[in-house]
Amino acid sequence: MPITKKYFHDRTVLLLLGANIFLTFLVIVSVIFRLQLGGGTGFIVQYRANLGIDQYKAGGLANLLSFIGFAVLISVTNIILSYRSYHIRRQLSLLVLTLGLLLLLLCVIVSNALLALH
């Protein structure tokens, strides 16, 4: 059986791929909707707890749109790495997808936290 067929017939791989794609879509939708609802020019893009009064750093729209680029880049990279490592070891492929899922989850949390401060 070819590697491609084995990879796409593995239920665990399909579950993790679906979760990665869902979280990527969630980041894209949440950032775009929050930016449209917020309106305005200045957005809080950094929070530095050790700076005291200047703990919030303002930035532009491009800084928040970079979360979308990061989520897409992480998702595509993880899918490619997982696919290429599947023939070496199945567990390695699942580990790559799981770590990508963790990164995407953190991306959702951080982007939501920064956009909630607006």
The pLDDT tens digits for 39-81 are 656 677 777 777 667 677 777 777 788 889 999 999 999 999 9
Residues recorded for the chain: 118
- Identify which of 40, 20, 3 has the alpha carbon closest to the alpha carbon of residue 102: 20
Q: Which domain holds residue 56?
A: 3-116
pLDDT for residue 35 is more than 60: yes
Is the separation of the CB atoms in 31 and 109 below 8 Å?
no
Overall number of domains in the chain: 1
Nearest to 35 by CA among 59, 71, 19: 59
* pTM, entire model: 0.82
Q: What is the chain's mean pLDDT, rounded?
A: 85
Q: Which two tokens stand for residue 75?
A: 């998702």
